[in-house]
Chain A
Amino acid sequence: MNGLIFKIAYRNLKEHKTKTLIIGTLMALAIMILVVGNSFMETAASGIEKTYIQNFTGDLVIAAKSMENVSLFMDGSMTNKEELTPIIPSSRKIISYLDSLDEVIAVNPQIGGAALMKHGEDGTGFVMLFGVDPGMYQETFRDNLELTSGTFLKTGEEGVVLSVAAVRMIKDSSGETVKPGDSVLLTGINSITGTKIREVTVRGTFKFVNESPQLEMISFIDLDNIRIINGMLAYTEVAANLSANEEALLGDVDEDSLFGSGDTGLFEGDLLADISVSEETGISQYNDSDYLNILGDTSERGKYSQTDPDAWHYLVVKLDDSVNEKKFIRNLNDWFNENGIDAKASGWLAGAGVIARMSNTLAVVFNFLVLIVAVVAVIIIMNTLVISVNERIGEIGTMRAIGAEKAFIRSMITLETIMISVIFGIIGAAAGMIITKIIGSIGYEAPNTFFQVILGGPVLYPVISVKAVVLSLVTVAFVGVAASLYPVAIALKISPVKAMGEN
Chain B
Amino acid sequence: MKKYIIGLMVLLMVGISGLSAISLDEANRILATVDTSRNFSGIDFSAVMTMISEDQDTGVEKKKVQQFRRDDSDMFLMLFIEPASEKGQGYLNIGENLWFYDPQSRKFNHTSMKDSFGGTDAKNSDFGSSSIADDYKVVAVKEGKLGRYDVYIMDLEGTNSEVTYPTVKIWITSNNNLILKSEDFSATGRLMRTSLFPSYANVGGKYLATKMIFKDELIEGKKTQITVTDISTKDLPDSIFTKSYVERVNR
Q: Which A residues are within 8 Å of any B CB, using their own CB?
A: 81-84, 116, 118, 185, 187, 189-199, 228, 233, 235, 237, 239-242, 245-246, 249-251, 253, 255-256, 258-263, 265-267, 270-275, 277-279, 281-284, 286, 288, 291-292, 294-296, 298, 300-301, 303-305
How distant is the Cα of A193 from the Cα of B146 in the complex, in angstroms?
36
Contact across chains for A298 and B250 when beta carbons are under 8 A apart: yes
Given A199-B105, A301-B88, A192–B118 Cβ distance below 8 Å? no
Which residues from chain B contact A250 at a C-beta distance below 8 Å?
52, 54, 60
Which residues from chain B contact A267 at a C-beta distance below 8 Å?
198-199, 211
Contact across chains for A255 and B81 when beta carbons are under 8 A apart: no
Q: Which of A192, A197, A251, A262 contacts B100 (CB 8 A)?
A: A197
Which A-B residue pairs are the 10 nearest by beta carbons? A259-B147, A304-B85, A240-B62, A197-B102, A275-B201, A258-B198, A300-B84, A283-B232, A194-B119, A197-B107
Contact across chains for B148 and A261 when beta carbons are under 8 A apart: yes
Given A190-B119, A255-B146, A277-B204, A240–B234 Cβ distance below 8 Å? no
Contact across chains for A273 and B66 when beta carbons are under 8 A apart: no
A-B contact count (CB 8 A): 190
* Prevailing SS type, chain B contact patch: strand
Q: How far is the CB of B194 from chain A (nearest CB, A)?
A: 9
Contact across chains for B178 and A259 when beta carbons are under 8 A apart: no
Contact across chains for A258 and B196 when beta carbons are under 8 A apart: yes
How distant is the Cα of A267 from the Cα of B62 in the complex, in angstroms?
22
Which residues from chain A contact B134 at a C-beta distance below 8 Å?
none
Q: How far is the CB of A256 from chain B (nearest CB, A)?
A: 6
Is B24 among interface residues, defined by CB-CB distance under 8 A? no
Which residues from chain B contact A303 at a C-beta distance below 8 Å?
84
Which residues from chain B contact A192 at a C-beta distance below 8 Å?
55, 57-58, 119
Is B200 among interface residues, defined by CB-CB distance under 8 A? yes
Is B169 among interface residues, defined by CB-CB distance under 8 A? no
Which residues from chain B contact A116 at a C-beta distance below 8 Å?
109
Which residues from chain B contact A241 at a C-beta distance below 8 Å?
62
Q: Which of B50, B85, B105, B248 contacts A237 (CB 8 A)?
A: B85
Which residues from chain A contact B147 at a C-beta distance below 8 Å?
255-256, 258-261, 265
Which residues from chain B contact A304 at a C-beta distance below 8 Å?
84-85
Would you mind naming 21 contact pairs between A and B with Cβ atoms under 8 Å apart? A118-B109, A191-B116, A195-B111, A196-B104, A197-B108, A198-B105, A199-B107, A237-B61, A242-B52, A246-B225, A251-B54, A253-B196, A260-B147, A273-B200, A275-B210, A277-B203, A282-B48, A282-B232, A284-B232, A298-B88, A304-B85
Which residue of chain B lies nearest to A288 when distances are taken between CB atoms in the complex? B237
Which residues from chain A contact B239 at a C-beta distance below 8 Å?
288, 291
Is B70 among interface residues, defined by CB-CB distance under 8 A? no
How distant is the Cα of A235 from the Cα of B85 in the complex, in angstroms?
9
Contact across chains for B61 and A240 when beta carbons are under 8 A apart: yes
Given A197-B102, A259-B149, A253–B111 Cβ distance below 8 Å? no
